[in-house]
Amino acid sequence: MPSIPISFEFFPPKTPVGQEKLLVVRDKLAALNPEFFSVTYGAGGSTQDGTLQTVLALRESGIDSAPHMSCIGASRAELRNQLQGYKDKGIRRLVALRGDLPSGMGMGGELRYANELVEFIRQEFGQDFIIEVAAYPEVHPQAPSLDIDIQNFVRKCQAGADSAITQYFFNADAYFYFVDKVRAAGIEIPIIPGIMPITNYTKLARFSDACGAELPRWIRKQLESYGDDSDSIIKFGEEVISNMCQQLIDGGAPSLHFYTLNQAKASLAVVNNLK
């Protein structure tokens, strides 16, 4: 077990079978006593109800659970009602995001950026919520430069974020460089590395290309060489991610946040390898 806190991200299942499987995964990962679970939702809030139901189901394990919340396409009144609903249900942690635009949809809504959402939450609800925001060690795919991306991140922190969770990456140096830049800008909140276990090359390559996470050539070539040998892919992925996580811990990362894709095995293997 690692010497620092861990947390896990899930997405809302779309089928009854998926919901049943998630409860099994929840219990396996809850046994590690994580700091919290988080739950995503789709572009434009397309699975908002599913997100809330998943949060409530995860919370039955006794682990604090946080919904992702996006401001894209929502009015202030809608956001206020959503936040009040979370507060009424005892939800005290949020992951505040701009959100992805649904295809064919303009910006919409009254708030355009995550820093505006964080500011709105603080204005309306004070310190009622612990607010996590997103960070991009390899630069947000829509940011024109690292420096502008850092400025955008600083605005989110100054608006009232408590901590940040990064996009996943496979190069620990990118994380450490980002943290150094953020600290030089006067930001002291915890920056939690987001960790993506490697279990499937094709899906990982497609997903990484879409979200701007670099899959290093040496990893890509090694995974390609295994072809359909899933056992070798999983074994190699476990070794690579375990080594990187240990490097992050040794370098002072405050916590680790695992993107589980609603599976337990790969995250469990990595966590069990850590000192």
- Annotated active-site residue 9? The verdict is yes
Chain position carrying tokens 């279990």: 199
CA–CA gap between residue 121 and residue 84 (Å, rounded): 10
What are residue 165's DSSP bridge partners? 134, 192
User: Of 9, 116, 138, 238, which is the active-site residue?
Assistant: 9
Q: What span, in angstroms and rounded, lies between the C-alpha atoms of 211 and 231?
A: 26
Evaluate whether 21 touches 262 at the Cβ level (below 8 Å). yes
Size of the chain in residues: 275
Catalytic residues: 9
